[in-house]
Structure 1
Amino acid sequence: MTELPRWDLSPRFGFSTPFDPKIDDFMAETSSQAKAFKEIYENHLDTKLLNAILEYQAISIRRSTVSSYLHLSYDVDLNNDALKKRKGEISERMAAEHGDFLSWFELDLASLEDALLTAQLEKTDTSSSAEEKNLAFFQSYIEEVRRQKPHNLEKSVERALTVRSPYVGTRPLVGFFVKELSLLTFHLPNQAETDDEVNMEVLLSRMTSSGDATYRAECLKNLNEGLGNHIVRVSALSLSAVAGSWSVENKERGYKALRSRRNLDNNCPDEVVQSLLDGVKSAGVPLCKRYYDLKKRILKSTQGLEKFTWSDRNAPIDIPKGEGGSSGNEEKKEEEMISWDEAVKMVERGYRKFSPRMAGMFMDMVREKRIDVPAIDGKRGGAYCAGVVPGIGPFQLLNFDGSKRDVATLAHESGHGCHDILAYGQGHLQYHPPLTLAETASIFGEMIVFRDLLDVASSKGERLTLLMSKVDDVINSVVRQCSFDRFEELAHGARDKGELVASELDEFWMQAMKEYYGTPGEDSPFDAYDNVSHLWAYVPHFHSVPFYVYSYAFADLVVGTLYRSFQTNPDGFEGRLLELLSAGGTKDFVEALEPFGLEPQNPSFWADALEAHLGGLVSEAEALAAELGYA
């Protein structure tokens, strides 16, 4: 594969390197600004709220600019100890500055008497759309801050927690875990001992793209053993600290349930989240098992598979060109690798078919070098899109290795980028959507690219291959993520009884797997769960954002329902979706989905969405497989 593009941060941020003296000058100015902010506005929000919010936003933009630049720089250079030290020093300065000069603001805003807030809102010049003249523009931000009032602690306590966070909170442990994970390397199967090892992203890509069951099984074995040598202990230590901190915070701040803190951040009632989890357990798990029964039959026919194990879960389906059944004697093939240029064309074409505007945003991200593409050593694993601040972001981090799944990841992260660009008009304090809607554009981006590829497929065999790959992705987003949530539930529940250890977490992982995928030999399509006990140890969300993972299931089911709405009633749909994305964090999920006739607060919504979305795809794959002789 030719040299892959790297992002170029300097033109957008204005800093030449993370060690640029301009950063220090910029931070000194920001610190002076923050000190003046406290002197001018503390105890005066009853009359000066609009100006205070505007100044707080301006300071937040400056702080986010520096922290984002350093985080992005570090995430592609994790072995650079000097950069790590630099990032840590700036983080410590920011924590002290926030505690001393800024932490009071949202606490006072949350406690501001309703009458005093209402009086200022009533004075708003509603005839003007100019942000700087309109307090009502910030209504969503104000409401979000004030929802936290019952859970805020005394000012002195909040300040102390903020100032200490770089030193004694979970952040240092989580940072250490992320770095150690990035340093892991593995031997590929059939690789000579003298050959260079590969990082985890490459190993996973090779496993999921191989048409050889033995090769896949060896990849998974190498992964599980590699995690077990060291990372499980680091991950257990970090996860134990995160779960312990989460428990203490929940009790001290008065959250009523394990997920309530995350749900409040998402402006999503506990009951709705529980309804989602229950729906996936009751309707999603049977669909998942039904699909894997189909996949098992096809792999036995096309690859001569003798035993269906966890390493075969994401295996590619390669239908012979004759499109019919197979004896399993065909030569085993690796999934055809896709070049970066081809991947860009695929995503651009799919986006353009739905929305030329989104396609234009995507191509701008490519042309403006906003995507760091290659899977290289010393780089953070996985993929993400950082919105940064309006006027500078977004930037995507990928670990592209040329697989079909990498194309889906590009479509996914580019959806996030489009969402950010559309929402920037809400201002820095309001452009971030709640997690329940944060994955909407990204998963919709995957869906439109998938449907475009399905439309141009040249044969029924190719269509079945694409359908099976898509069902793999949906199950990973819905059922697997909810099994992750169950693992977190078990781990956090046990933390109240003492420190978590790796062997205990292994057991919780296996319990969650059996609850969602069944017990081999009893109620599972899998014949065995070989080499899977340590796989919990490489999931970063458990550490950085506890109980985040259900948002993937939430978004995938919402997007599946939205896409079916688009198929049946396409008129005006693009405009409605772009309007939803443009709202950023100013609408909750109920209000945002109302124009589409969706009612996610209805208890039956999730089971119905599963049957329509995942069930529809599984039925489509089963029908096509039957036509091709794989029933």
Structure 2
Amino acid sequence: MSNWASHAPASTADTATSAEAELGNLPTWRLEDLYPSRETMQFKEDMGKALNQAQAFEKRWKGKLADAAARTGDDGLGAALEEFEQLEDLLGKIGSFAGLTYFSDTSDPANGKFFGDVQAKLTEISAHLLFFALELNRIEDHLVDAAIAKDSKAAHYAPWLLDLRKDKPFQLDDRLEQLFLEKSMTSAAAFNRLFDETMAELRFEVDGQQLPLERTLNMLQEPQEPVRRKAAEALSKTFKENLRVFTLITNTLAKDKEISDRWRGFEDIADSRHLANRVEREVVDALAAAVREAYPRLSHRYYAMKAKWLGMEQMNFWDRNAPLPETPNALIPWEQARETVLSAYDRFAPEMADIARRFFDEQWIDAPARPGKAPGAFAHPTVPSAHPYVLVNYLGKPRDVMTLAHELGHGVHQVLAGSQGALMCQTPLTLAETASVFGEMLTFRALLDKTADKRERKAMLAQKVEDMINTVVRQIAFYEFERKVHTARKEGELTAEQIGELWLSVQTDSLGPSIRISEGYENWWTYIPHFIHSPFYVYAYAFGDCLVNSLYAVYQNAEDGFQQKYFELLKAGGTKHHSELLKPFGLDATDPSFWSKGLSMIEGLIDELEALDRA
């Protein structure tokens, strides 16, 4: 960390231009690898081909899958599955191109129209394919098992077929499923788009400058308290001004989910997410309980230490991610971030670094933070016939380097799992965070091992602890907030004030007495995209962090062969349950003590910080 480029403390008057110059040449992604443009004949022909093939598929196979299960060859179930998978890959490619184009600049009306039109067309096409999974689940299990036994093509898809059975109790009849699919365009999908476009248009005034969300949030990591306070006040002000639309979106989506869950017969408000994640409710409940029980040992304890380091009795909520005085005050150029992550990956396994390097060399990354671009970061797998893409909003902070390591971990995972094909490459969310959090840990440990200076080591450890608290404690608090909102919504529409009270209740519990929560913070639930796009997604982060903490402990004590087992886990995609994937490492997420082991690593880092402070 000591060789970071020198950079004066940022002020609100600094221009984006000078900072961008310091960061170096930030890459933008090559969406041409999917399609040259939305206007090309290739894209238009694929749209037409997808519809024609879906209609032909429906005509050929609908009502005939039970008979196909008794046959092999071109008329057998395996042939139908192959054809279905090819269609899924084509549709995924089209949808990925439209989505990534839109997220490149959500403020561009042309992008919004393109994305909306493509979504509508894909919904129309998918309606012709909807019968397939529903009809498969109406075939007697023993007939499908027999097809798997005698048809080599069907046997290839056995994990997908067996996994599909878990959805059987929650399926509706074909007409209702088609209605749910088609109405999604004017319900959940529409309100998701409204959220994205509203958020992209928001501006936050700081010292006369109109800043987008990402740059304003980034100011909460500035060393000067007045800068952080002004950013927090600007965020609170704009959130409050737009409270009405965010309250409407939240109420509508919660009610939409409640209707769907009721029709499908889910007992608990999060059961549909647990099913999608292929994880048992009891496992998630145990995780949430373990984290809540650890609040005093983790976040409460750490924030009390940090308040003392910052010379405060109590920190304001905008000080939570403030850098310590020991933190090097520098912008990290893009090239340095690239080498930091790749060298850490290479140290673990050259194969891992080779895959990650392709994201840089072949322009699979979009890095600049620009107006209209989707905030935050993600890795989009697209489809196995193409390659993943990574979006970050790189501003040169140490946390941005860790975000890059995180998203590249996803990218490596997606490349390796791609060999499973379009139907089986998707990893359940509970394990989807494994490679990303592991990549962060590799990068952190590599940097820590090279840091001899006590003050820098303290700053690095503190930042890692904060990131882990944000990943584990904060995400479980988010999960508890969602549970409260969705439970309360069953009794009627919620006002913004009621949602704010629920938000403050979980934040107060999780942050502890060393964080002062003042006026304005009650509306900060508004900007969290996971609540909108993926209800109850957030516990997957805590699941992944605790899992990786345990996995990394195994790695530290392992003899040769860990890397090979790790790559086998990533390559499995969605073909195996988490219990089967973790067994080679001697780990079991159903064991109540499993979560305590993961949390103890965070506690250990806090112990190390305390010891450094005393030394």
Q: TM-score, normalised by structure 2?
A: 0.93
Answer whether contact 1:76 1:380 (CA < 8 A) is retained. Answer: yes
Counterparts of 1:79 and 1:67, CA distance in 2:
19
Q: 1:330 corresponds to which residue?
A: none
Q: 2:361 corresponds to which residue?
A: 367
Q: Secondary structure at the match of 2:358?
A: helix
What displacement does 1:515 show? Answer: 2.1
- Structure 1 residue corresponding to 2:541, chosen from 552, 557, 578: 552
- Structure 2 residue corresponding to 1:144, chosen from 159, 163, 179: 163
CA-to-aligned-CA distance 1:180-200 (integer Å, 9 cap, x gap): 101112233xx3x3xx42211
Deviates more, 1:284-293 or 1:432-441: 284-293
Q: 1:206 corresponds to which residue?
A: 219
The residue correspondences of 1:226-375 to structure 2 (distance < 5 A) are: 226-230=238-242, 232-300=243-311, 305=312, 307-319=314-326, 335-375=329-369
What displacement does 1:336 show? Answer: 1.0
The residue correspondences of 1:303-452 to structure 2 (distance < 5 A) are: 305=312, 307-319=314-326, 335-452=329-446
Answer whether contact 2:78 2:155 (CA < 8 A) is retained. Answer: no
What displacement does 1:516 show? Answer: 1.6
Q: Letter of the aligned partner of 1:85 in structure 2?
A: K
CA-to-aligned-CA distance 1:569-620 (integer Å, 9 cap, x gap): 2421111111101101111111111111111101222123212x21111111
Q: Letter of the aligned partner of 2:557 in structure 1?
A: T
CA-to-aligned-CA distance 1:368-399 (integer Å, 9 cap, x gap): 00000011101111100000001312101111
Q: 2:586 corresponds to which residue?
A: 597
- Structure 2 residue corresponding to 1:181, chosen from 183, 199, 203: 199
Q: 2:45 corresponds to which residue?
A: 25
What displacement does 1:214 show? Answer: 2.4
What displacement does 1:242 show? Answer: 1.2
Answer whether contact 2:239 2:523 (CA < 8 A) is retained. Answer: yes
Deviating above 6 A after TM superposition, structure 1's stretches of 4 or more consecutive aligned residues are: none
Q: 1:103 corresponds to which residue?
A: 130
Deviates more, 1:468-477 or 1:596-605: 596-605
Q: Letter of the aligned partner of 1:436 in structure 2?
A: T
Q: Letter of the aligned partner of 2:568 in structure 1?
A: E
- Structure 1 residue corresponding to 2:497, chosen from 496, 503, 526: 503
Answer whether contact 2:545 2:598 (CA < 8 A) is retained. Answer: no
Q: Secondary structure at the match of 1:396?
A: strand
Answer whether contact 1:309 1:530 (CA < 8 A) is retained. Answer: no
Q: 2:604 corresponds to which residue?
A: 616
Structure 2 residues not aligned, in runs of 5+? 1-19, 69-75
Q: 1:521 corresponds to which residue?
A: none
Q: 1:69 corresponds to which residue?
A: 97
Deviates more, 1:80-89 or 1:579-588: 80-89
Q: 2:230 corresponds to which residue?
A: 218
Answer whether contact 1:288 1:517 (CA < 8 A) is retained. Answer: yes
Q: Does 1:120 align with 2:109?
A: no
What displacement does 1:43 show? Answer: 2.0
Q: Letter of the aligned partner of 1:207 in structure 2?
A: L
Answer whether contact 2:313 2:514 (CA < 8 A) is retained. Answer: no
What displacement does 1:486 show? Answer: 0.9
What displacement does 1:306 show? Answer: 5.9
What displacement does 1:528 show? Answer: 4.2
CA-to-aligned-CA distance 1:206-247 (integer Å, 9 cap, x gap): 221x111222122111111111111x2222111111111111
Q: Does 1:534 align with 2:549?
A: no
Q: TM-score, normalised by structure 1?
A: 0.91
Q: 2:71 corresponds to which residue?
A: none
- Structure 1 residue corresponding to 2:576, chosen from 583, 587, 593: 587
CA-to-aligned-CA distance 1:146-205 (integer Å, 9 cap, x gap): 1111100010111122122212x21111111111101112233xx3x3xx4221111111
What displacement does 1:318 show? Answer: 2.8
Q: Secondary structure at the match of 1:187?
A: strand
What displacement does 1:500 show? Answer: 2.4
The percent identity for this pair of structures is 34
CA-to-aligned-CA distance 1:293-337 (integer Å, 9 cap, x gap): 11111111xxxx4641111111111328xxxxxxxxxxxxx8311
Q: Secondary structure at the match of 2:366?
A: strand
Q: 2:81 corresponds to which residue?
A: 53
RMSD (CA atoms): 1.4
Q: Secondary structure at the match of 2:330?
A: coil
Q: 2:107 corresponds to which residue?
A: 79
What displacement does 1:267 show? Answer: 1.1
Answer whether contact 1:233 1:501 (CA < 8 A) is retained. Answer: no
Q: Secondary structure at the match of 2:27?
A: coil
Counterparts of 1:531 and 1:354, CA distance in 2:
44
Counterparts of 1:137 and 1:224, CA distance in 2:
53
Q: Letter of the aligned partner of 1:159 in structure 2?
A: Q
CA-to-aligned-CA distance 1:435-479 (integer Å, 9 cap, x gap): 110000000000000000001113011111100000000000000
Counterparts of 2:599 and 2:129, CA distance in 1:
44
What displacement does 1:354 show? Answer: 0.9
Answer whether contact 1:18 1:83 (CA < 8 A) is retained. Answer: no
Answer whether contact 2:331 2:397 (CA < 8 A) is retained. Answer: yes
Counterparts of 1:614 and 1:83, CA distance in 2:
43
Q: Secondary structure at the match of 2:244?
A: helix
What displacement does 1:485 show? Answer: 0.6
- Structure 2 residue corresponding to 1:40, chosen from 41, 57, 60: 60
Structure 1 residues not aligned, in runs of 5+? 126-133, 321-333, 519-523
What displacement does 1:427 show? Answer: 0.7
Deviates more, 1:305-314 or 1:24-33: 305-314
Answer whether contact 1:111 1:146 (CA < 8 A) is retained. Answer: no
Answer whether contact 1:488 1:547 (CA < 8 A) is retained. Answer: yes
Equivalent pairs counted in the alignment come to 585
Counterparts of 1:543 and 1:342, CA distance in 2:
35
Q: 1:258 to 1:445 in 2, by over 3 A?
A: same
Q: Does 1:171 align with 2:189?
A: yes
Counterparts of 1:172 and 1:185, CA distance in 2:
22
CA-to-aligned-CA distance 1:346-386 (integer Å, 9 cap, x gap): 11111111111111111111010000001110111110000
Q: Secondary structure at the match of 1:385?
A: strand
Q: Does 1:8 align with 2:30?
A: yes
Q: Letter of the aligned partner of 1:18 in structure 2?
A: R
- Structure 2 residue corresponding to 1:158, chosen from 170, 177, 190: 177
Deviates more, 1:45-54 or 1:264-273: 45-54
Q: 1:328 corresponds to which residue?
A: none
Answer whether contact 1:250 1:261 (CA < 8 A) is retained. Answer: yes
Answer whether contact 2:428 2:574 (CA < 8 A) is retained. Answer: yes
Q: Letter of the aligned partner of 2:260 in structure 1?
A: E
Q: Letter of the aligned partner of 1:103 in structure 2?
A: L
